[in-house]
Amino acid sequence: MLTAFMNSPLGPVRITGDEQGVAAISCVVVTLPDPIPDVPEPLQAAVRQLTEYFAGTRQTFDFALNPSGTVFQQKVWQALLDVPFGTTLSYLALTRRIGDEKAIRAVAAANGKNPLWIVVPCHRIIGSNGSLTGYAGGLWRKQWLLTHEGVRPGANQGQLSLF
């Protein structure tokens, strides 16, 4: 596996992958060297596109993904890819999209195991009441990402809405 690091408004980011695609993107608690080492060629598109996302000039990603996970996790992560930039979806609605409303806890667990931070947008999944429940990177990061995408708390019972 190849590794690249980049700075972001939410802290240092580690990207791992190979010629088959990006396997993981995560915030890390490390001090990055100055200067940051060169990015391996198979990870350059991911670094470029994440930089564009943080700059506000990109809403979708098109580099190759290659995350490891169970068949069920892969199904959930695939469904997350269908949640557009600037929108949110409840855990229950996501569960309905994958066809098993009773699997809400398993869907939430798979969401929490998502290895591709931002690109597979688990931050767009919220509680049915509009609350920002659960986020492996910390709720402050989830709030930042949603605000960055133009989603803000609405005036109606904490529901999220577009600006």
> What residue type is assigned to position 15 of the chain?
I
Active site residue 27: no
pLDDT at 158: 38
Query: DSSP assignment of 68-130, as one string?
Result: ---HHHHHHHHHHTTS-TT--EEHHHHHHHTT-GGGHHHHHHHHHT-SBTTTS-GGGEE-TTS
Say how many Å lie between the first and final Cα of the chain, rounded.
40
Domain 2-55 has CATH 3.30.70: no
Asked if 149 contacts 86 with a C-beta cutoff of 8 angstroms, the reply is: yes
pLDDT at 159: 42
List the catalytic residue out of 25, 79, 122, 132.
122
Per-residue tokens: 117? 């931070």
pLDDT at 32: 81
Digit-by-digit pLDDT tens for the chain (163 residues) are 999 999 999 999 999 999 999 999 999 888 887 888 899 999 999 999 999 999 999 999 999 999 999 999 999 999 999 999 999 999 999 999 999 888 999 999 999 999 999 999 999 999 888 888 878 888 999 999 999 999 965 423 334 444 3
Give the DSSP letter of residue 137. Answer: T
> The whole model's pTM is what?
0.89
pLDDT at 132: 86
> Which option is the CATH number for 71-162: 2.60.40.10, 3.90.470.10, 3.30.479.30, 1.10.10.10?
1.10.10.10
Within the chain, which residue ranges are assigned CATH 3.30.160?
A: 2-55
